[in-house]
A and B are shown apart, each in its own frame.
Chain A
Amino acid sequence: MKRNLIIGGALSTLFTLAALLSFLWTPYDVTALNIGAKFGTPNGQNLLGTDHFGRDILSMLMVGARISIAVALAAVSFGILLGVPLGLLAAARRGSVVDEIIMRSNDLVFAFPSLVIAILITAVFGPSLWNAILAIGIFNTPVFARVTRGAALSLWTLDYIMAARVAGKGAFRISFEHILPNILNLLIVQATIQFAVGIIIEAGLSYVGLGAQPPIPSWGRMLADSQTMISFAPHLALFPGAAIVLMVLGLNLLGDGLRDALDPKIRRART
């Protein structure tokens, strides 16, 4: 369905642009306190209202988008840089001890939910944005390793790979010159999905205080701050949450749309 691609692409672009724009311009200074204007509901001056310090919520959301996107992007890159080579290696050495070790290590990481990884890291090193990236990145790694291995395995049986081997190419060159380009579509789709997962995990980590630390604005922390005020100022909780939902929804739709557009074979069995 083209519709997924268009809506997902539009939402993702919107948030990315807002995050980029926030480097140059925000409606108000996010650090400027204006106690006189606190708990302002959405109005002409502050489109999404103001928080308990009188800060402009729209401006905070724009800056928060940078953090969410940066963390998710870094964590996806971490997962790809580590997971894809491991997956390629496992596929190239399929059935060997190396393959077995990589796959069992994958299973091991899968036994730790991302939040539990984050808890372990934070308990020892303290909460920070970097530790959040590390935790989500570790969580992403076996996902990419598994997808890569699965896709690469089926390619290794094909004739043109056999031809490359006959031509004298080693497993390393075949993996990077022939296998990787052909599974790129799959990896792009998976990256989009993990991006969305990363946004939601980052929000959760920041919400419980294991992610971005003050004064860095983040969607998750805005939600945590708003919790005690929800009975009289629900808009403080409404907008950051809506931002997370729209961003994640956009990325998921984009992932679905890309999958349909890039790989006609899996168009039918969608979950």
Chain B
Amino acid sequence: MTRFLLTRLTSLILTLLAASVVIFLVVEVVPGDVASVMLGLNAEPEAVAALREELGLNAPAHVRYLTWVSGLFTGDFGQSHTYRVPVSELIADRLWVSLPLAIYALALSTFIAIPVGLIAATRAGKATDTGIMGLTQLGIAVPNFWFAMFLVLIFAINLRWFPSGGFPGWDEGLWQGIIALTLPAIALAVQQASIMARVTRSATLETLGQDYIRTARAKGLSQRQTVIRHAMRNALIPVLTILGLQFSFLLAGAIIIENVFFLPGLGRLIFQAITQNDLIVVKSVVMLLVFAIVTVNFLVDVAYAAVDPRLRRRA
């Protein structure tokens, strides 16, 4: 297990390093002069020169890269050009919206998808199964922001059960925060739940065909007991991998959904940064997203290996 951990950890670090190089190249080297991009075409040459000075753009690229990366380690992400506050502060504020949203959506989709997938698998070929599979096909095809708009129309505008957007902040109480994140989390969860339900179904079907399941049934366990005690455990292994993949989809999806609900999360931050040409913010937020995705997938791999010893050797 130690060897497995070391190999995976090395590849995690290499991926992150490579990602940071790519992001740096795209944002700082490819466009030529970052200061002119940030200030736009009509900027005064003096202003551009001043910004170059302020951002330390006169240093060679490799020095700037090293400054940026070592800053990431110490939590110094630079200063936002438009907000005039440290990027780390901006990110920390917004993370308290985006992260709970992603976790809320992940929890919702898991709690819906696993039972639904199990039910479909145990009723394979029957009307319930066909119905569930049809619904999941539909769930995969529905764009989450479109679904979100109708959630707002029905549950916020007509029924007034939830706010149509905005976020009161966690200071207003946990409950208020959860209420504000509920519609966005549902919108995010639908597609993920559909995918996960399908994976759960096929993984369960696969385990249900195994000999030890027949043995369990033969020794007198009911179908329900067999599924819960034996099939589910093994079926959940592939589901676990999907969970890691989904996290990255959820983060990306959250970027759009936050815009539908006007939530002050990382997604809103990054779009504001784009419209204001605040490349300093874009660079670090993208790096943070990639970091989160790669790290979650690493953790899933480790969890996976802990559950299934065969995988440790393959690494």
Contact = CB atoms under 8 A, between A and B. Distances in A.
Interface of A: 104, 107-108, 111-116, 119-125, 196, 200, 203-204, 207-208, 210, 223, 226-227, 230-231, 234, 237, 240-241, 244-246, 248-249, 252-253, 269-271
A124 B30 contact: yes
A124 B279 contact: yes
B286 A231 contact: no
A113 B26 contact: no
Given A207-B143, A246-B141, A252-B141, 5 more contacts: A122-B274, A204-B143, A226-B149, A244-B143, A270-B202
Contacts of B19: 108, 111-112
Contacts of B140: 248, 252
B231 interface: no
Contacts of B202: 269-271
6 contacts: A113-B248, A120-B286, A121-B26, A237-B146, A249-B138, A271-B199
A30 B184 CA distance: 33
B249 interface: yes
Contact of A204 (B206, B256, B290): B256
B313 to A, nearest CB: 17
B68 to A, nearest CB: 15
A115 B252 contact: yes
Contacts, number: 128
B31 A223 contact: no
Contact of A119 (B143, B198, B201, B282): B282
B271 interface: yes
Chain B: interface size category: 35 or more
A196 B142 CA distance: 11
Interface in B34-55: 37
Contact of A112 (B150, B274, B290, B297): B290
Nearest to B158: A231
B182 interface: no
B152 A230 contact: yes
Main secondary structure of the interface of B (DSSP, over half): helix
B138 A119 contact: no
A240 B149 CA distance: 12
Contacts of A108: 15, 18-19, 22
A111 B15 contact: yes
A116 B290 contact: yes
B23 interface: yes
A234 B198 CA distance: 31
Contact of A249 (B14, B141, B271, B273): B141
B199 A123 contact: no
A78 B95 CA distance: 34
For A111, A121, A210, which residue has the most chain B Cβ atoms within 10 angstroms?
A111
B137 A241 contact: no
Nearest to B27: A124
A231 B153 contact: yes
Contacts of A244: 141, 143, 146
Contacts of B141: 196, 200, 244-246, 248-249, 252
B251 A113 contact: yes
B253 to A, nearest CB: 8
Contact of B282 (A104, A111, A113, A123): A123
A115 to B, nearest CB: 4
B99 interface: no
Contacts of B273: 123
Contacts of B271: 208
Nearest to B34: A124
B274 A123 contact: yes
Contacts of A121: 26
B289 interface: yes
A241 B27 contact: no
A121 B25 CA distance: 11
Nearest to B22: A108
B157 interface: yes
Interface string B181-214: 0000000000000000011011001100000000
B235 interface: no
- 3 closest Cβ contacts across the A-B interface? A113-B252, A241-B146, A248-B141
B104 interface: no
A200 B271 CA distance: 19
B270 interface: yes
B105 interface: no
A120 B252 CA distance: 13
Nearest to B278: A123
B26 A124 contact: yes
